[in-house]
Amino acid sequence: MHKINSGTHIKSSPSSNPMQLSLFDNVQFIYELALAKYELQVLGVDFSVADNLRTFECKALEDTSYLKNRLAYFQKVNGETTDYAKIVGYNRTRSPNQYLTHWIYPYKGKYHPQMIRALLNVIDIKKGDVILDPFIGSGTTALECQLLGINSIGIDVSQVCVLISKVKTESLDALSNIEEMKDTLIEEGKEPTLYSYDKDAPSKIGNLGEMINKIKDKKARNFYKVAELIAHSDRSRRRKKDFFGSFKNNVEKMLSSTLDFKKVVEELKLPLGNVDINFGDARNLKLKDESVDGIITSPPYSIALDYVKNDAHALEALGYDLKKVKDDFIGVRGTAKTKVELYEKDMEKSYDEMYRVLKNGKYCVIVIGNATISGQELRTVDKTIKYCEKIGLKLEKNMDKIIFGLYNVIQKENILIFRKQV
Ligand SMILES: C[S@@+](CC[C@H](N)C(=O)[O-])C[C@H]1O[C@@H](n2cnc3c(N)ncnc32)[C@H](O)[C@@H]1O
């Protein structure tokens, strides 16, 4: 396996005292340790790992600011707290990965933001470069790029995903409008409306939808739409949940997270990257040839996760016909017999597109696992490697990423790093 190019950004200092870097306490997996090492390697740091496997030693550097700004798996650089350690401190949830606006919307199958930040370092993406995620899902790649001043393009065939990704990354721009209309919406949105997921016992949950649709500022409108969708989601899953109580809580929590976002941008003087989220199809990208500096993505989990069914309540609440949208979702379309074959063909088309839009010599990271269907494991990872290599994406690294959890349909994923051949 080839080694990803070592960077040369950072000069050593004449001082003979070695420098210490310490990992976050929550770094527990082998793939995380591997990514932590690659981050440093690509940033041009010569290091050795101490016996405790948590401290790294390296020659003193003239300037450590780049390391402090960029690193993902390190909490301290020579005793000083990294930017990422400060960022993850702004968290309104109990899950360490759901800091800032990452938590917004209960989306199944998102990947770890810390891993994305590390991968951006590993594939040597600089401030101002453009990263594409053609399966943006809940917006993880876009938000992590934004925090590092990297521009990103996110595409998804689900309007729910497009909306969530926008809200996570754009609400900051609409804070004053969001705050201004909060009380009115909470107080006056309670006129009765029926929702079809309550078929058995139709219930009345207000004219909030209409009020939200009338909000002029698009970013503020999207913000409230998502707060409403989460309330629908809570209600459709747990019938007795009070819709307005849930809406109000979502608004408060989303607002606190957006205010946190503002604070951290000011505290760390983060030059935010531009985010461009669009509804679209990964099999037919509306992007020019060789126009992006890198791709990081996790494709649909074969037929293991039905994204239409998962978000049915939200898609419906947004006014979409589930039968119609289903045809465009990779891994969902087709009958029991044709599903796997269609999935594989659709993914091949998506890889062709990724190859086309990626600049020569740049990297494409695919996080993917084998799904098990009726007790049989599909060889998705092998097939992905084989196809990508055939079209000119050379595999440079293949890391195992074990997933824990009783209910996971996939127990192991692979982080595949390909490079487009020049
Ligand atoms: C594994 S999820 C991505 C999760 C994402 N990495 C995150 O952290 O939230 C795969 C996504 O692919 C989307 N998808 C399915 N078919 C698609 C298509 N034809 N074009 C674009 N996106 C599609 C699904 O809607 C889903 O959001």
CATH number of the domain residue 39 falls in: 3.30.70
Domain shared by 131 and 82, yes or no: no
Closest CA to 212 of 196, 191, 194, 233: 191
In angstroms, the CA 190 to CA 204 distance is: 9
Residue 231 CA to ligand 1 centre (angstroms): 22
Q: Which two tokens stand for residue 115?
A: 């891993």
Domain-located, residue 9 = no
Helices 218-237 + 175-188 axis angle, to 10? 50
Domain shared by 161 and 224, yes or no: no
Domain shared by 371 and 299, yes or no: yes
For ligand 1, atom 25, name the residue with the nearest CA.
158
pLDDT at residue 18, as a whole number: 86
Q: Which residues line ligand 1 (CB under 6 A)?
A: 107, 109-111, 134-135, 137-138, 140, 155-158, 161, 281-283, 298, 300-301, 307, 328-330
If one counts the domains in the chain, the total is 3
Confidence of residue 308 (pLDDT cuts 50, 70, 90): confident
pLDDT at residue 215, as a whole number: 94
pLDDT at residue 14, as a whole number: 59
Residue 192 CA to ligand 1 centre (angstroms): 34
In angstroms, the CA 364 to CA 420 distance is: 8
Q: Report, in angstroms and rounded to the nearest whole number, the Rg of the chain calculated over CA atoms.
A: 22
**At residue 373, does pLDDT exceed 90?**
no
Confidence of residue 16 (pLDDT cuts 50, 70, 90): low
Ligand 1 atom nearest residue 138's Cα: 9
pLDDT at residue 2, as a whole number: 39
For ligand 1, atom 13, name the residue with the nearest CA.
135
pLDDT at residue 47, as a whole number: 92
Ligand 1 atom nearest residue 139's Cα: 9
pLDDT at residue 231, as a whole number: 85
Domain shared by 156 and 43, yes or no: no
**At residue 144, does pLDDT exceed 80?**
yes
Domain-located, residue 3 = no
Q: pLDDT digits over 151-207, tens only?
A: 999 999 999 999 999 999 999 999 999 999 998 888 776 644 555 555 554 455 557
Residue 156 CA to ligand 1 centre (angstroms): 6
CATH at 130 = 3.40.50.150
> Picking from 3-7, 89-93, 212-216, 328-332, which range would have the lowest pLDDT averaged per residue?
3-7
Domain-located, residue 300 = yes
Our CA dihedral for 37, 365, 395, 350, rounded to 10 degrees, sits at: 180
Domain-located, residue 105 = no
How far apart are the two ends of the chain, measured CA to CA in Å? 18
The preferred substitution site among 105, 114, 161 for testing ligand 1, maximizing ligand atoms within 8 Å of CB, is: 161
What's the mean per-residue pLDDT of the chain?
88
**At residue 408, does pLDDT exceed 60?**
no
Closest CA to 78 of 92, 59, 97: 59
Residue written as token pair 């030693």: 57
Closest CA to 410 of 402, 398, 420, 400: 402
Domain shared by 158 and 233, yes or no: no
Q: What share of the chain is helix, strand, coil (3-state, %, to 5)?
A: 40, 20, 40
Domain shared by 126 and 190, yes or no: no
Domain shared by 231 and 83, yes or no: no
Domain shared by 164 and 177, yes or no: no
Residue 124 CA to ligand 1 centre (angstroms): 24
Domain shared by 401 and 340, yes or no: yes
Domain shared by 243 and 196, yes or no: yes
Domain-located, residue 138 = yes
The preferred substitution site among 135, 281, 367 for testing ligand 1, maximizing ligand atoms within 8 Å of CB, is: 135
pLDDT top residue among 199 and 74:
74
pLDDT top residue among 377 and 54:
54
pLDDT at residue 405, as a whole number: 60
Q: What's the rounded mean pLDDT across residues 359-374?
A: 90
Domain shared by 121 and 65, yes or no: no
pLDDT at residue 412, as a whole number: 83
Alpha-helix residue ranges (DSSP H) falling in 189-242: 208-213, 218-237
In angstroms, the CA 315 to CA 330 distance is: 16
Domain-located, residue 281 = yes
Closest CA to 414 of 372, 365, 374, 376: 365
For ligand 1, atom 1, name the residue with the nearest CA.
300
**At residue 44, does pLDDT exceed 90?**
no
Alpha-helix residue ranges (DSSP H) falling in 95-217: 113-122, 140-147, 159-170, 175-188, 208-213
Last residue of a domain, one of 253, 268, 283: 268
Last residue of a domain, one of 40, 71, 88: 88
Tell me how far CA of residue 145 lies from CA of 113, 116, 258, 270, 375, in angstroms: 10, 8, 17, 11, 38
Domain-located, residue 158 = yes
Domain shared by 203 and 335, yes or no: no
Ligand 1 atom nearest residue 283's Cα: 19
> Picking from 61-70, 247-256, 300-309, 409-418, which range would have the lowest pLDDT averaged per residue?
300-309
Q: pLDDT digits over 216-242, tens only?
A: 999 999 999 999 988 887 777 765 567
Range of the domain at 362: 113-168+272-420
pLDDT at residue 4, as a whole number: 55
